[in-house]
Amino acid sequence: MPGTLETTRLTMTVNGDPVDIRVAPHATLLDALRDDLELTGTKLGCGEGECGACSVLLDGSVVNACLILALECEGAEVRTIEGLSPNGRLHPLQQAFVDYGAVQCGYCTPGMIMAAYALVESNPSPTEADIKRALEGNLCRCTGYRKIIDAVASLSNGGASHD
Ligand code: FES
Ligand code: FES
């Protein structure tokens, strides 16, 4: 029908649950998460791959969900910030952000935490340099980063070494 936007079926796994939705060809993964699945913890900041507010894990790697077409994620495993706190219990990283005062407006926080989560999953004892590198794609306008780095470092065995 003229004027009707065609949609395509998309199946993937989000936070361990199978999802089966229809999306427009131009829809991004961020659109699918926020608009179709109502997982609004993942934020839209720049929409251009610069700020990291939309960071999620796609098959275990951190990606900017604003830059990925939803249909590219067919069959993929996606993890969002909501997937870190099943049953409402904060993940230790989330608790550390609270404890260290690493959250101000909070807009960058879900993306920061997903990038930090990917780091500590692959490297349980990151150095400060490792943490800075892992978070370099995530911008924060509020905190000055020190508290964020300290929050992530608090999870590593014995704390991150300064190097
Ligand atoms: S909203 Fe995706 S990188 Fe800024
Ligand atoms: S806490 Fe406001 S942008 Fe990071």
Residues of the chain with CATH 3.10.20.30: 8-84
CATH superfamily, with its number, for domain 8-84? Beta-grasp domain (3.10.20.30)
Please tell me the CATH code under which domain 86-153 is placed: 1.10.150.120
pLDDT digits (tens, 9 = 90+) for 67-113: 999 999 999 999 999 999 988 899 999 999 999 999 999 999 999 99
- 33 contacts 78 by C-beta, under 8 angstroms: yes
Question: Per-residue pLDDT for 33 more than 60?
Answer: yes
The atom of ligand 1 lying closest to the CA of 30 is 2
Question: Per-residue pLDDT for 49 more than 90?
Answer: yes
Which tokens belong to 154?
A: 């608090």
- CA–centroid distance, 163 to ligand 2, in Å, is 25
Question: What's the pLDDT score for residue 87?
Answer: 87
Instruction: Please tell me the distance from the alpha carbon of residue 34 to that of residue 42, in angstroms, as a whole number.
Output: 7
pLDDT digits (tens, 9 = 90+) for 108-150: 999 999 999 999 999 999 999 999 999 999 999 999 999 999 9
- CA–centroid distance, 82 to ligand 2, in Å, is 18
Question: What's the pLDDT score for residue 54?
Answer: 98
DSSP conformation letters of 109-159:
HHHHHHHHHHHHHH-SS--HHHHHHHTTT---SSS-SHHHHHHHHTTSTT-
User: Which ligand has the shortest distance to the CA of 103?
Assistant: 2
User: Can you tell me whether residue 45 is helix, strand or coil?
Assistant: coil
Question: Per-residue pLDDT for 159 more than 60?
Answer: no
Q: Is the pTM of this model over 0.85?
A: yes
Residues of the chain with CATH 1.10.150.120: 86-153
Q: Confidence band (pLDDT; 50, 70, 90) for 160? A: low
Question: Per-residue pLDDT for 5 more than 80?
Answer: no
- CA–centroid distance, 139 to ligand 2, in Å, is 8
Question: Per-residue pLDDT for 3 more than 70?
Answer: no
Q: Residues with beta carbon inside 6 Å of ligand 1? A: 44-47, 49-54, 64, 66
Instruction: Please tell me the distance from the alpha carbon of residue 48 to that of residue 34, in angstroms, as a whole number.
Output: 17
Which tokens belong to 51?
A: 């700020």
Cα dihedral 109/135/127/159 (nearest 10): 0
- For ligand 2, atom 4, name the residue with the nearest CA: 140
